[in-house]
Structure 1
C-alpha cells in the first residue's frame, strides 16, 4: 500500500507556477502544506471542492500554512472550474505525469499533508461523491490533522 511506503518520508522535490507565483518543496519548508490532486471530470474531486474551499478560507491567513491544489487541466479549464464551483484556493496546472509522480500514482482525488519539514504525515486517495459527506470528512478528519501540525 502506498501509504505505508510514503508516510514519514520527505515529499519529492517539485516546482509549480501559476502566473507569477512559484511554489516548490524548498520554499514551503517551515509551513504545514495541504496538497490536493483533482480533475474536473472526477465526481469525488468535484464533491470535495466546497469543503476544500471552506478549509482554505479557515486556514489561509496562517503564515505557517500553504494550500496547493494540483491538476493536469489547462488554465482555461481551471478558470472555468474556479468560477463554476466558486472556489478561491490556489490551483496549479502541470503535466499528467507530474501529477502521477507527486500523488504517488494514487488516483484522484488525492490529499496529502506535509509537516513543516516537508515530511508526509497524511495521504488519502479517493473520496465521496456526495458533497456533504466530502465536506464532513474534510472538516472532521483533514482539518484537525493540519491544525495539530501548525
Structure 2
C-alpha cells in the first residue's frame, strides 16, 4: 500500500462542462456600471463571451458576433461580452474601435472567469433557454461563426 503525504496533495479546479447549468452572475455593465443579472436572460439562448482588450482573436470575433446578434436577436438570442481587463479604460478603448450592440459586462477582478474556468481567450459558452451550457468554444477565427450560428439557430428552434 502506498502512502501519500499531505504535501503531495493539490486542489483540482473543475472546469464548467457542457450539460451543466451556467453559474449565475451579477456583473456591472461596462457601458453604465448598472448591475446585470444572468437570471434576467432566462428563456433566451445566450452566447457568453469572455474577452479582453489585448486578445487578438477578440478583434475578429466582435464584428461577427455583433452581426449575428443583430440577425438573431428578435428570435431570442443575446450576446453577453464579459470583459476581463483589470484597467476598464483599456476595455473602453477597445469598444471605441469596435463598437457593438450587445451587452458588455466588467469582470476586471476575474471572479466569474475563475468560476467559469477560463483558460484561453476568448472563451465562450452557448447557453440554452433553460440555462444549461450546450457548447464551449475556445479561441476564435472568422470561420468559426458558421458553426456557432448553426448551434445557436438549432437551440432557438427548441
**TM-score over 0.5 (shorter chain):** yes
Partner of 2:150: 144
Q: Using a 3 Å threshold, how does the CA distance of structure 1 residues 15 and 102 change in structure 2: closer, same or farther?
A: same
SS at match of 1:83: helix
Partner of 1:24: 37
Give the Cα separation in 2 of the matches to 1:91 and 1:11: 17
Q: Are the aligned partners of 1:114 and 1:121 in contact in 2 as well (CA < 8 Å)?
A: yes
- In the alignment of these two chains, the number of paired residues is 140
Displacement of 1:105 after TM fit?
2.5
1:6 aligns with 2:13: no
Task: Identify which of 108, 125, 135 aligns with 2:121.
Answer: 108
Please report the RMSD computed on the Cα atoms of aligned residues, expressed in angstroms: 2.1
Sort the Cα spacing of 1:31 and 1:102 in 2 relative to 1 into closer, same or farther, 3 A: farther
Give the whole-Å Cα distance in 2 for the aligned partners of 1:66 and 1:125: 19
Per-residue CA shift, 1:73-123, capped at 9, x if unaligned?
244333322221233322111134224224322321111100111000000
For structure 1, list consecutive stretches of 5 or more residues without a partner in the other structure.
129-133
Q: Which of the residues 69, 72, 90 maps onto 2:81?
A: 69
Aligned to 2:5: none
2:98 paired with 1:85: yes
Whole-Å separation in 2 of the counterparts to 1:28 and 1:117: 10
Mark the CA change 1:115 to 1:97 in structure 2 (over 3 Å): closer, same or farther. same
Q: For residues 67 and 102 of structure 1, do their structure 2 counterparts lie closer, same or farther at Cα, with a shift above 3 Å needed?
A: farther
- Structure 2 distance, partners of 1:143, 1:84, is 24
**Divergent runs of 4+, >4 A:** none
Unaligned runs of 5+ in 2: 1-13
Larger Rg computed on CA atoms: 2
| Structure with a larger share of its residues in helix | 1
Distance 1:60 1:21 in 2: 21
